[in-house]
Copies of this chain bind each other. A is one copy, B any other.
């Protein structure tokens, strides 16, 4: 997608120089900078430090890192041991990211054949991610009526993948098709991925949008200004229950109450066929500092971290919630739009 009118991907790999380049997402939305990672160790550190984030982008980057390690190994005394150690290093960066293990494993296995096979596999995983996003955009766009008001939560845009994204991809396609969508961007507290990343993406793409407090969605639904909701998914159970950023459940319940269609857009790889129901997902409880503090630019342009909440009080900070299938109108994947109860028989 475009940044300052130039096309970028979130992350890309140049095997000839063994370099991975990526947008430093820790600096967004205030600074746009490409970092260059010259070894699998540098890349692993970048994954750990959340320079890259989003399930799709993490997976692809981890695959690239594994390919870097395979390239590096060829000049080492003990290449096999080097690769094994590198695999463990990469896998330890984000131990809950399913896509990471999937990608590392694919590239690792290809590397058993040849360096070239590892590189090709890593590049193919990136291409697949990109293709999924593009197709999800085309399929999802068919659900969007002209001049729609669309609510989205968190960031499931191109920054979370290699390009296009999941929830935002249909919106980009609708925008390109001249349908003039208007996006209500949930701030998405506590980390503010909506106000910081989704707004940044939409602004650079030229899509009409406004940031709203997470509290304001029902207000705009009650006024008839929100015609559909599209969010991403971190994981989808085979019964159609969806784990996604905290607050997704609230938006889904509100949408149902107001009779507004609620769509989840995610690549097929997000479906966890082993998991029969959302009850089985383990919800990550994160530090309450994310809620009590926030970072932003002060008047002089300096990045500052402030305490927002009353000193002396603590917080509770569940990172995700489970949206039961009954609240979900449809799940948009690269294979089509499915009702949640069709997930099991379609993909199993």
Q: Does residue A195 face the partner (Cβ distance < 8 Å to B)?
A: yes
* A287-328 vs B, Cβ < 8 Å mask (1 yes, 0 no): 010011111111100001111111111111110011000000
Please give, as numbers and ranges, the residues of chain B lying within 8 Å of A310 by CB-CB distance.
Answer: 28-29, 195-197, 199-200, 203, 211
CA distance A298 to B305 in the complex (A): 6
Question: Does A218 lie within 8 Å of B249, measured CB to CB?
Answer: yes
Instruction: State whether the Cβ of A215 lies closer than 8 Å to any Cβ in chain B.
Output: yes
Nearest residue, chain B, Cβ from A190: B213
Most buried by B among A215, A218, A297: A215
Complex CA gap A166/B276 in Å reads 45
Of the candidates B200, B246, B294, which one forms a contact with A219 in the assembled complex, judged by CB atoms under 8 Å apart? B246
Nearest CB in chain B to that of A316: its residue: B210
Bound: A195/B306 CA distance, A:
13
In contact, A247 and B213 (Cβ under 8 angstroms): yes
Closest Cβ neighbor of A195 among chain B residues: B309
Digitize A73-102: 1 where CB-to-B-CB distance is under 8 Å, 0 elsewhere.
000000000000000000000000000000
Q: Please determine whether B297 and A250 come into contact, CB atoms closer than 8 angstroms.
A: no
**Contact residue among B254, B288, B308, B311 (Cβ-Cβ distance under 8 Å from A294):** B308
Residue contact A215 to B250, C-beta cutoff 8 Å: yes
Q: Say yes or no: is A216 at the interface (Cβ < 8 Å to chain B).
A: yes
Q: Are B218 and A253 touching (Cβ within 8 A)? A: yes
- Which segment of A170-178, A181-189, A334-342 sits at the interface? A181-189
Q: Which of A218, A307, A317 has the most CB of B within 10 A?
A: A218
| Residue A168 is within 8 A (CB to CB) of chain B in the complex | no
User: Shortest distance in angstroms between A167's beta carbon and chain B's nearest beta carbon?
Assistant: 16
* Contact digits for A241-281, partner B, Cβ 8 Å, 1 yes 0 no: 00001110110011001000000000000000000000000
A217 touches B250 (CB 8 A): yes
Nearest chain B CB to A286 CB, angstrom units? 11
Q: A250-B254, A257-B253, A322-B222 are contacts. A313–B216 as well, Cβ < 8 Å?
A: no
Tell whether, in the assembled complex, residue A187 and residue B294 are in contact, meaning their CB atoms are under 8 Å apart. Answer: no
Please report A residues at the B interface, Cβ cutoff 8 Å: 28-30, 184-185, 187-190, 192, 195-197, 199-200, 202-203, 209-220, 222, 245-247, 249-250, 253-254, 257, 283, 288, 291-299, 304-318, 321-322
3 smallest beta-carbon distances between A and B, as pairs: A215-B247, A296-B306, A29-B310
Contacts beyond the supplied A29-B311, A219-B283: 19 A-B pairs with Cβ under 8 Å? A189-B189, A195-B308, A199-B309, A200-B310, A200-B313, A203-B312, A211-B288, A211-B291, A212-B315, A213-B247, A213-B291, A215-B247, A215-B250, A216-B316, A218-B250, A250-B254, A295-B306, A298-B305, A299-B305
19 contacts across the A-B interface (CB closer than 8 A): A29-B310, A185-B313, A190-B213, A195-B308, A195-B313, A196-B308, A196-B310, A197-B310, A199-B309, A203-B310, A203-B312, A210-B288, A211-B309, A212-B316, A213-B246, A215-B321, A216-B317, A216-B318, A216-B321
